[in-house]
Chain A
Amino acid sequence: MIQPPFKKILIANRGEIAIRITRACRELGIASVAVFSDADRDSLHVFLADEAYHIGPSPSKESYLNYKKILEVAQQAGVDAIHPGYGFLSENAIFVRACKEAGITFIGPTPENMESMGDKLSAKALMKKANVPLVPGSDGGVESVEEATAIAKKIGLPVIIKASAGGGGKGMRVVRTESELESAFRACRSEGQNYFADPTVYIEKFINDPKHIEIQVFGDTHGNVVHLFERECSVQRRHQKIIEESPSPSVPDDVRKKLGDAAVRAAKSISYVGAGTIEFIFDNTTKEFYFMEMNTRLQVEHPITELVTGYDLVKEQIWVAKGKPLSFKQEDIQQKGHAIEARICAEDPITYKPHPGVIRACRHPQGPFLRIDSYAYPGYEVPIYYDPMIAKVITWGDTREEAIDRMQRALTEFVLTGIKTNIVLHKSILKHPKFLDGTYTTQFIEKNFEVLEPELFKEVEDPVFLIAAAITAYQDRKSKDVRRLNVASNWRRIGRKIQLRT
């Protein structure tokens, strides 16, 4: 057997991704250490790891983001590496440096990698130098309305004004006519100042109906950088992905090659180490693509890349962190078949509002060409403090059609009750003509799923709901009567006792 790269790894995360990493550790013969907050004592990632330690109160700030506490636990547990998963500390350069000082290997990119991609404007400047296509727009910050107007004239309307430090939809305005420009410019500056303490804004050409296409890249400490093809993540609600697929049905082969080459150039230009993702805005009409940002971490949707390429990205991350060269060369990597991922969230499928609560019944789908990354189990209470995603269903098919059919089948098998989930929304997306023909864009859900509840739930006839509710109400009523009789007789018994005493 090959000597394991590390003895023990602490996983500074929770939920499904912590379990995913525990699995990689176990396959490599590495002991795994879970950490948990108050709310997560009963989380499945705690049960599945070899060791588990409490790190603080439920709010992320006091637990999963408390890097000092996590490092303290790591040292007490005697780990030689930390895997951050995604989110939380995964792109925190300060944490990476603190790990190094503590003599613990951080499984991920260098702090310099993170810093060069962390600020959107400086990342764009770097990408321009590396000859990666950028959305036409201002070179850096725009100071005045006059300057903004001149740029808008040069690149043509519509344009989008964005706060440099912004995110999550804040500090962003689309300008379609020149008359809107001045007020949008001022609004973005003040939102940037108010929310992110930075009034700097920049201007870009606004792409109508864009697609979100991203390229998985991988680098090692020996200067090798490869890409593992694209993922299309245009099915989004509230600017968050819910369905991803690889390959994208919209990317022609010649463009796929250009995308991959551009992503490798981008990663090479910053000597990128580990797993990363270059996100592009893709214009489905012109098939042009533009650099959006780089995520310097493992992505939620990494499994679809694993299924089409056949490589285990988490194990590769661990080997690269140990200093091994990449186990695959660019020419080895192929996309085989088609993979789709559906993110199952504890949320209302109509309003997209999170719906935490206790899971009653839970039976995961099974069967051929199916992967489930989930931390749901019967009786588990989905906490209110974290992301509502509780499971990922990933299917593989020889063709896109087969992968979609398989996903429908898997979701039909998925029994998850007690909380609201978006499974029913997924099912109706998967049969939507725009999804099936691949023309969907990031506006797809907003434009096509102003769905009325009856539409989404029409698979089941009303009498089924009514009869089940009525029979249950009847049974509840009966058992309540029995309880009430018992209560009454207790009172009688106590009454008699009192009488005996006096």
Chain B
Amino acid sequence: MYFEAVLNNKKYKVDVHEEKTCWKVSVQQEGKDWIHYDISKNDYKSAEEYVSFLFHGKSYLIDVLGQDTEYTVFTRNSFRTIKIFNDEMLLHESLKKGGGFGGDSVLKAGMPGKIIEIFAKEGDEVKAGKPLLIMEAMKMENEMRATADVKIKKICVKQGDSVETGAVLIEFAN
């Protein structure tokens, strides 16, 4: 599951995968390399009302308080509030901004999902605010609209396609 996070005004990309016996967490601070952590579930387990987290040989008792996009992590008398945006929120953000991921020349999928309906055809000129397609993700239908007046150069998906995060859906002519 993909997240974007902000901690101490620094931006991170975070990917979390749960496996049977471990958590695979990858973290990339903006402008830096991805770091992969393999965390055995034996090293990250609930004890009483906390999580006991053994990390790099250190023992942390952790409590996490999550409210909407804000997660406050308490440990060793310290605490940090981390803003966490998951795919759905990112998608909504991107829809609000109207851009979609990846800027103006293409419309990308902000999260994995399924294409429900496509309204535009190649060569169409679409006015800003008009719908381009509907994508179902997180069990919600998300209508993706044009942010500016655009001309459709290429439609890269068809109805019923399942797409991954970042897949290009529509290319625009500049």
Contacts and interface: CB of A to CB of B under 8 A. Distances in A.
The CB with the most chain B CB atoms within 10 A, among A378, A416, A464, A485, is that of A464
B7 A466 contact: yes
A463 B39 CA distance: 12
B49 A460 contact: no
Contacts of B8: 453-454, 462
A498 interface: no
Contacts of A459: 76, 78
A462 B7 contact: yes
A424 B77 contact: yes
B128 to A, nearest CB: 32
A23 interface: no
B25 interface: yes
A464 B37 CA distance: 11
Interface residues of A, number: 41
Contacts of B73: 464-465, 468-469
A473 B77 contact: no
A463 B77 contact: no
B86 to A, nearest CB: 6
Nearest to A476: B66
A414 interface: yes
Interface of A: 360-361, 378, 411-412, 414-418, 420-421, 423-424, 427, 453-454, 456-457, 459-474, 476-477, 481, 484-485, 488
B148 interface: no
Interface string B48-75: 1111010110001111111000010111
A457 B50 contact: no
B53 A412 contact: no
A423 B78 CA distance: 8
B64 A472 contact: yes
B10 to A, nearest CB: 8
A470 B16 contact: yes
Given A418-B74, A421-B77, A463-B55, A470 B5 contact: yes
A168 to B, nearest CB: 29
A466 B5 contact: yes
Contacts, number: 122
Interface in B7-22: 7-8, 12, 14, 16, 18
Contacts of B18: 474
B127 interface: no
Interface in B113-160: 138-139
Nearest to A426: B77
B27 to A, nearest CB: 6
B1 interface: yes
Given A417-B63, A454-B8, A469 B76 contact: no
A361 B75 CA distance: 11
Contact of A470 (B3, B48, B53, B55): B3
Given A417-B79, A470-B25, A473-B71, 4 more contacts: A415-B63, A462-B8, A468-B64, A488-B139
Contacts of B64: 468-469, 472
Nearest to A463: B27
A478 to B, nearest CB: 8
A468 B66 contact: no
B172 interface: no
B63 A463 contact: no
A467 B37 contact: yes
Contact of B53 (A423, A454, A456, A468): A468
Given A417-B74, A466-B27, A473 B3 contact: yes
A471 B63 contact: no
B21 to A, nearest CB: 14
Contacts of A472: 64, 66, 71
A37 to B, nearest CB: 27
Contacts of A418: 63, 65, 74
Contacts of B71: 469, 472-473
Nearest to B17: A474
A488 B64 CA distance: 29
Nearest to B74: A417
A465 B71 CA distance: 9
A360 B7 contact: no
A469 B82 contact: yes
A477 B86 contact: yes
A465 B16 CA distance: 14
A416 B79 CA distance: 10
Contacts of B55: 463-464, 467
Given A417-B63, A473-B3, A484 B139 contact: yes
Contact of B80 (A465, A473, A485): A465
Contacts of A465: 7, 73, 75, 80, 82
A418 B61 CA distance: 13
Contacts of B16: 470-471, 473-474
A238 B75 CA distance: 26
A468 B51 contact: yes
A360 B63 CA distance: 8
Given A378-B49, A470-B84, A476-B66, A460 B60 contact: yes
A436 B77 CA distance: 21
Contacts of A466: 5, 7, 12, 14, 27, 82
Nearest to B83: A469
B77 A423 contact: yes
A473 B5 CA distance: 11
A474 B37 CA distance: 15
Contacts of B61: 361, 415
B63 A361 contact: yes
Interface in B78-124: 78-80, 82, 84, 86
Nearest to B138: A481
